Structures are given as structure tokens and as C-alpha cells.
Amino acid sequence: MVKLTPELINQSMQYINPCRERELDLRGYKIPQIENLGATLDQFDTIDLSDNDLRKLDNLPHLPRLKCLLLNNNRILRISDGLEEVAPNLNSLILTGNNLQELSDLEPLTGFKKLETICLLINPVSTKPNYREYMAFKFPQLRLLDFRKIKQKDRQAAQEFFRSKQGKEMLKEVSKKSKLSAAAALAAEAANGKGGTEGGSRFANPEDMQRIREAIKRASSLAEVERLSQILQSGQLPSKFQHELAQNGHGNGNGNGDTNPPSVAMDY
């Protein structure tokens, strides 16, 4: 296994793909988890993480440019909530050959309002009864599912099914499983000492990234540069760093028209 480091990201192949989009190739390293994608500085339309060893789709930094995420042939069995906040323009998600089991496992994807292409072939979930109807119903903007077009008649059939007693019962069951899965995930994170982002780190937005770059320029020591660089590369702001920004008035400028922060000392 290879850890997804800023160095690996910077050394990996980058090119313009046939869709004339800028793509980052991170295939085949057996990467166990997503991390440090803040080091991409949101310069890519497509990121290819196929043929790795990912178990969860999570821990994305703020990547508003990202349109396509390729995750073929991993071991993904869970998708984190809230990813639509950090990748709001995601249009295509390819998850062929993973381990998503239940329709409830797909609920976190419903927050993506621009997601038009999803592929879940060779996932157990794609064999569930009424799978296509469920996807057509829950994703009204979806155009391609498993490389097959969703037609208007498919949407009408899905609407009719989920107005029926059987369809309503199915939605209730999926919602119940989704809530149980979310609760189990939170409990697991708490047991592992992660505890989510509340009171801890949060994802950096583009303004945060620019403030960190300015802080690096004004850093007074090598250690400070290294700490700030680590934050920039991870794409997440530790709670103490957020506090420093707030104390120094960097949230929306310092009230004197100066939005460039001085160096920020961090003692953690």
C-alpha cells in the first residue's frame, strides 16, 4: 500500500483528457484512504483514483472545480455525508467494482444537485429489486445510470411505483437503514477518536487557502512554514488554527481593509 501524500500527488501524471479537461491520474497505487487532496490546489476537473484500496469515499477538501471522480475497482462500502458541500459541481461519479451493498448506502449522494452520471455496476446494490426505479426517483437530474440513459418513461414509472403502497414502504425502509448506518458510522468515528468535525477541523474554502498562502509568506520560522504547508496540503483547518484566524480578525478582513494575514503561530 502507498500513502496518498502531497509528494505522490505532485509526481503523478497530469494531462488533458479526451473531454479536454485537466485530469490527475492516481490509479493503481493501492492507496488505503483519501487524504492530502488539498495539495491539488483545486486544479483538476477529473481525479482518477481507480484500482486502489479505498474503503470509504470521504475526506475530500474543498474542490469546487472537480467535475468527475473515477473510483473503479476499490473496496468502497461507505460514502460520507456532506460531500456535496466540498465538491458542489461534481457531475460524474464512477464506482464500478466496489462493495456498496444497500440502497441506503447511496443516500449521501442525493445532496449532489449536478450529478448527472453514476455508475454502480459490479456493486451488490445494483442487483437490488427496484434499483433503477429508486435511482430515477431519488436523483431527478440523473441522465446516465450504469451507462444506460434514464428516459422520461423511466422517471414516470418510478414516480408511479413510489406512489404505490409497496413503493412507500420501500422508501421508509431505506430511510430507516440510512439513519441506522449514519448512527453506526458516527459511533465508529467516536470510538476511533475522530468524532467528526464539530469542535475540530473543518474543510478549508478558497478564501482560507489564500489566507494560508499569505501566512506562509509572512512566516517567521521554518517550523511555522512547515505547519502552515501541512494545513494547506490537507485542505482542513484545525480548530486551533481557526481560533487564531478569528482572534486576528481574518474571517472577513480585519476591519481596516487589510485582508492579508500576518504570520500565524501555532503551538500544536
Cell of 120: 454502480
**Are the C-beta atoms of 216 and 228 separated by less than 8 Å?**
yes
pLDDT at 155 (0 to 100): 94
| pLDDT computed for residue 16 by the predictor | 96
- pLDDT (tens digit per residue) in 31-80: 999 999 999 999 999 999 999 999 999 999 999 999 999 999 999 999 99
247-262 pLDDT per residue, tens: 555 444 433 434 444 4
Helices H / strands E in the chain, number of each: 8, 12
DSSP 160: H
The span from the CA of 158 to the CA of 163, in Å, is: 9
Q: Would strands 117-119 and 92-94 be described as parallel, antiparallel, or unpaired?
A: parallel
CA dist 45 to 82, 158, 187, Å?
20, 32, 34
Mode of pairing for the β-strands spanning 68-70 and 56-57: unpaired
Cβ count near 262 (within 10 Å)? 14
Say what the pLDDT of residue 262 is: 41
HSE-CB at 15 with a 13 A cutoff on CA atoms is 8
Alpha helices in 71-151 (DSSP H): 83-86, 131-138
Nearest C-alpha neighbor of 34 from the set 1, 11, 5:
5
Task: In whole angstroms, give the CA distance from residue 121 to residue 146.
Answer: 6
Q: Where in the chain is the domain with CATH 3.80.10.10?
A: 6-191
> How far apart (Å, rounded) are the C-alpha atoms in residues 231 and 234?
5
- What are the per-10-residue average pLDDT scores of the chain (268 residues)? 93 95 97 96 97 96 97 96 95 97 94 96 95 95 96 94 91 83 60 49 67 77 72 66 59 41 40
Closest Cα partner for 62 from 257, 258, 243, 207? 207
Fold of 6-191: 3.80.10
C-alpha cell at 73: 475497482
C-alpha cell at 29: 497505487
- The pTM (predicted TM-score) of the whole model is 0.71
